[in-house]
Amino acid sequence: MGISIRAYARHRGVSDTAVRKAIQTGRITPEQDGTLDQERADREWERNTESPKVGSRRGVVKARTPEEISSNGNASLLQARTVNEVVKAQTNKVRLARLKGELVDRSQAIAHVFQLARTERDAWLNWPSRVSPHMAAQLGVDPHTFHVALESAVREHLQELGELRPRVDG
């Protein structure tokens, strides 16, 4: 026969609720009669309980992936449920953002950017034809020669810009 749950809680300096929770989650094992072997319970408590992080009043619970939980022999159903709830919350957050229109389809965004770039390129290719006669007259140079030079400079610049590869994958 061991000591009572309340006596063990006083020994550990925790509430009897904390001890009951440790028993319920399998961190410590009671005797057949419901009492606790103090030495064995101390060993199990130390082995199966994470200590609070420095600088915090409470222990920090780090969400773990299902793979981490399934690889841990001491994993409890409570930990698996916690991970499941975290995943559900993250999924719901994404769904809500999509419903609010805060998320866009990646392939549509890429197609839109491509179309914008093509429109910009076409506007630049047409620009020398529109402005070269006026600029040549202002400068007093041959309009054809000026147009060819301006068009060549614009095409060279567009070629340089075409070598840039924007990243759209974050």
Euclidean distance between CA atoms 16 and 51, whole angstroms: 18
Q: What is the pLDDT of residues 67-78, one digit of tens each?
A: 555 555 556 788
Residue 3 phi/psi, 5-degree rounding, is -100, 160
Average pLDDT (94-123) is 87
| pLDDT for position 36 | 92
Would you put residue 13 in left (φ > 0), alpha (ψ -120 to 50) or beta? left
Residue 36, strand partner residues:
3
3-class state of residue 76 by DSSP: coil
Burial of 42 (0-12, 13-18, 19+ CB in 10 A): middle
| pLDDT for position 70 | 54
Write down the mean pLDDT value for the chain.
84
Q: What is the pLDDT of residues 6-25, one digit of tens each?
A: 999 999 999 989 999 999 98
Q: Which H/E stretch holds residue 134?
A: helix 106-139
| pLDDT for position 104 | 81
pTM: 0.41
Helix, strand, coil abundance in the chain, percent, nearest 5 = 65, 0, 35
